[in-house]
Structure 1
């Protein structure tokens, strides 16, 4: 006995988890299974009679129409993927299988939601690329630029801002690394993060309960809104970024301490000699001139003995900052040990310019200093040596400047 199952077909079609679309040659939906509600948030009644184009993500429209034309010319599609817009505004990744029924002049397609699969792949790829960026980046700035590239590929038409918390000042700053020309000031970013919107998300970057900063991502007003899946992915990325940034900061701090003085942050003796050797090679090649200043703080031991070592440390920190302030960016200021400092002046034009630089330093260092509730004045002894007149090697110049400094001290 032959059983006619045709009355069951509509029920069977609506039991399929994937969504079945039937579209005429004008692009109008003539049938859609009930699974469309789960897929795009619309009921069949809302979609039937409307144009399929209405639901396609704008960025995928042209290639989707081109694929539809290929199907209508007799080429079956079994692996075409694009994005549609859910009724609530978020994007849905869809994998299509489609064929053209010539006898009925209809395009018949089955649509499968692969958003979760794509998101899982994106999460894996993002983690790999962030790890890769952490491995390749030599500085925190380079790392942040790499992270921004990863996130803005995942979320087109978006702008990522990374804010960093300063535990000493309890302030949040947003450097524009890799985001030049479009990074808003900190107050504007924080205001937007506090108010929130469908087109922006603000996520803390936390490591072991310590808040390192804030990850803020904004989409253009015309872009699709963020959904729960987007937020989940960005929370995962924020956690990974926080871990990587903490490790990178620790690495940078170790490298910094290897070449800088722990108290003042100035270049240390080792790095100073490296820079001096480099400057000498450059001056030799280009027939240039440079000067080396050697100085110490007069009666520093007396301040240490009478006011305490903490006051002495504060005085050295203040002297170091003043030396930074009164020298050029191209110059190098170093702490050689104790209260002794050196200044490497590159591209000098003669002894007059060196004497002017020394006079400026003396004037600034002798300004009053507040130490432990008291105000003190200090002076410095300083000697100078010039290349090539006073020596052609690092040791010769340092020895000459050191001797000149002690000569100055004897004349006091």
Structure 2
């Protein structure tokens, strides 16, 4: 194939005008060198090479030992080794980066390339080479490496479970990686998560659930934090997750996820809530929660112009059981009573233990006195059934007082007092019955 005319023209200029060569070697390179391999002590180095290293070219002799004196001595054997390979095998490229000591003591990184000029028999007789100062590049590489290592320390050193994903579209996401903490806590390895979508990693239902939060992050274009309960290979855990969008060229390109395992904290919160609002023995609402629900029920029925009933229950015969068989049997009776009361009521109703052997019931949205009496009679029948408490057969009854909102009161204290008063009337009249407040 015929050479391009411009290439031929350039070769001609190089042969006839040395200024062209000077321009090329000074304008595009940081040094040219030419080595006499038959007389290895002789080597010409272009002025720019010495200037790069901080020396005056005029004081430098065209000798190989000039550069060999300032090259890092650890690098020199590699240079000579690669040159020897190139001499023996022309296809072995001589191209490597070495370190030189600048006149001011700093390190200069130089890319050194060379090509052997051979005689008719293929023996290397000269070596033509070029130098390029790559110190800035090396410094940049080191800085990138430093930052990368710092990133890895932070990414893998944090106790939070972290993950990085690519945003393919507003609804499509691809996991890139997760940190060591995420792998340990979730039992999802790096190999398992890489290049997976939420669905392919977590399944359709859970994948769509977490993807919904990712979509919200993309839409909001700012960090979001939320709680989520996930079933992962590491078990069922509760996570406090923060998603941070990474915006490039006005688009959310990536999302960084950071999740703290709050399972134990949530369990403690539930235990504290149970302790504060539920009776330790029977596990039904305690006095505090009863009054909270009573206030809410008053507000709702006042708004809707409805009625509800408050029933105050005192067990008959419980003291005798407790005194005769002990507190363990008595506790068993109270637990059984609570279970039977719950069984007779709707989910929208409330049963609570007020203390000792006293219980209260809130019947929501009652229609008439007859409907209240049906529930009360059901409670009586249920409680009168024999109980086998650790081999001890026990029987209790119940005295019940009833107050209806708003007929017997419009506030918590009045309703409870009316129901309590009606209960004590039954208690004093022989027990085992029920009575509506006469108010």
TM-score, normalisation: structure 2? 0.45
Larger radius of gyration: 2
TM-score normalised to structure 1 length: 0.48
